Amino acid sequence: MGEDKKEKRYKTGLLRSLWPYNFNAERYSYTLHRITGVILALYLIAHVFEIYHFALGPVAWEQTIALLGSLGIWEKIGLWIIAGSALYHGANGLRLILNEVFGMLLGKPVLPEYPYTPTSLSRNQKIAIYVILAIVIALWIWAGLYLLEGLGII
């Protein structure tokens, strides 16, 4: 076996795993969850770095604040993206905890009958996904308005 077998796997890898096109809503939320998770991780590192300057004394802290302030609108946009990420990652994370730790929203094991509709992706799960999305978008808009207000635009 295997001499003329392709060692490379067909259509695999990170980008593939983040590409939910053609699949179910859960896979789309998986992609969003991963991306928002990475954004939050990067933010956490930056945040620790920022707080570290606070420990260095008032001068260093003033400088850091000035540096962030010099970013102008970009600081606010960054914060807005981070707020959205935190909202989505948190809310969707709660849904996943219900699924994974408590086995909820999945339905019971059933006798499969054609046409097969997996109960784990059925009504309850979809309601949870869309309710989360609605709440997150509403709060995200609110956060955006709050940030704009801080800029004195509205």
Query: By the criterion CB under 8 A, which residues form the site for other proteins?
Result: 1-2, 4-14, 16-18, 20-24, 26-27, 30-31, 33-34, 96, 99-103, 106-107, 109-114, 116-121, 125
In the complex, least distance from residue 94 CB atom to other proteins, rounded to whole angstroms: 13
Cis peptide before 58 (omega within 30 of 0): no
Nearer to other proteins by Cβ, of 36 and 79: the residue is 36
Nearer to other proteins by Cβ, of 17 and 63: the residue is 17
Nearer to other proteins by Cβ, of 23 and 49: the residue is 23
Report the C-alpha gap between 107 and 104 in whole angstroms. Answer: 7
What does the DSSP assignment read for 90-127?
HHHHHHHHHHHTT--SS-------SSP--GGGSHHHHH
Report the C-alpha gap between 75 and 2 in whole angstroms. Answer: 54
In the complex, least distance from residue 132 CB atom to other proteins, rounded to whole angstroms: 14
HSE (side-chain half, CA atoms, 13 Å) at 115: 0
In the complex, least distance from residue 16 CB atom to other proteins, rounded to whole angstroms: 5
In the complex, least distance from residue 137 CB atom to other proteins, rounded to whole angstroms: 21
